[in-house]
Amino acid sequence: MRYLTIALGKGRLAEQTMQLFEQIGITCEEMKDKSSRKLIFVNEELKLRFFLAKGPDVPTYVEYGAADIGIVGKDTILEENRKLYEVLDLGYGACKMCVCGPESARQYLNHNQLIRVATKYPNIAKDYFYNKKHQTVEIIKLNGSIELAPIVGLSEVIVDIVETGSTLRENGLQVLEEVCPLSARMVVNQISMKMENQRISSLIHQLKMALPKA
């Protein structure tokens, strides 16, 4: 039997995912050592291999088949737009993609004005403004602390993830529009889904049974 390879987005997502896998009897002791810099972990009995990658790289590994399965946020799936199957909503990591800004910026969203939109997610922002709202905007790509942009005058609004809303509140910003709900998802390589259908389907089924009922 060959190894099934599972790519996990580094950080909290990976930790929650390993907890879920433990619930269905899949453990990977070496992965719990927080001081370790190791990136790849093997469960010999089950012929499973886990590796940790940067979130946005997970869909890339899965599309090319370097990983059969990936666990990654819906934000990353939408932004990266890779060829893969999204097979399961894991529920955790729930948050929303939103258009945010100061209350005074709300008017710009209703009058089809040419505004600047700062975001870590240019593809999601483009899709929302161009295809859903039919509003022409200038997208400015940033890499983090997006909330700064409207405060210092780089943009009128931002497209960003809102979880508790405290980053917005503490910076005098608000949700102006909701783009879409987000959470962790399981994705599968299109060829693996056919070649390893039995193992992958059984894994999906077991995970589904272990998830808290919605």
Q: Whole-number minimum distance, CB 162 to ligand PRP, in Å?
A: 4
Strands 95-101 and 157-162: antiparallel
> Considering beta carbons, is residue 164 or 198 the nearer one to ligand PRP?
164
Residue of 160, 173, 187, 207 interacting with ligand PRP (CB under 6 A) = 160
Minimum distance from CB of 141 to ligand PRP (Å)?
13
Which amino acid, residue 111?
H
Does position 152 bind ligand PRP by CB under 6 A? Answer: no
Confirm or reject binding of residue 102 to ligand PRP (CB under 6 A).
no
Residue 187, H or E segment: strand 184-188
Tokens of 28: 């990977």
Smaller CB separation from ligand PRP, 144 or 212: 144
Token pair of 83, please? 């060829």
Q: Return the ∠ at Cα 72 (arms to 123 and 142), rounded to 5°.
A: 35
Instruction: Pick between residue 63 and residue 156 the one whose CB is nearest to ligand PRP.
Output: 156
Q: Which stretch, 60-68, 107-115, 155-163, 206-214, contacts ligand PRP (CB under 6 A)?
A: 155-163
Per-residue CA distances from 11 to 17, 54, 72, 73, 148 (Å): 10, 9, 11, 12, 24
With respect to ligand PRP, which residue has the nearer C-beta, 82 or 120? 120
Cβ proximity to ligand PRP: between 136 and 145 the closer is 145
**Cα separation of 15 and 11, whole Å?**
7
Which positions touch ligand PRP (CB under 6 A)? 120, 144-147, 160-167
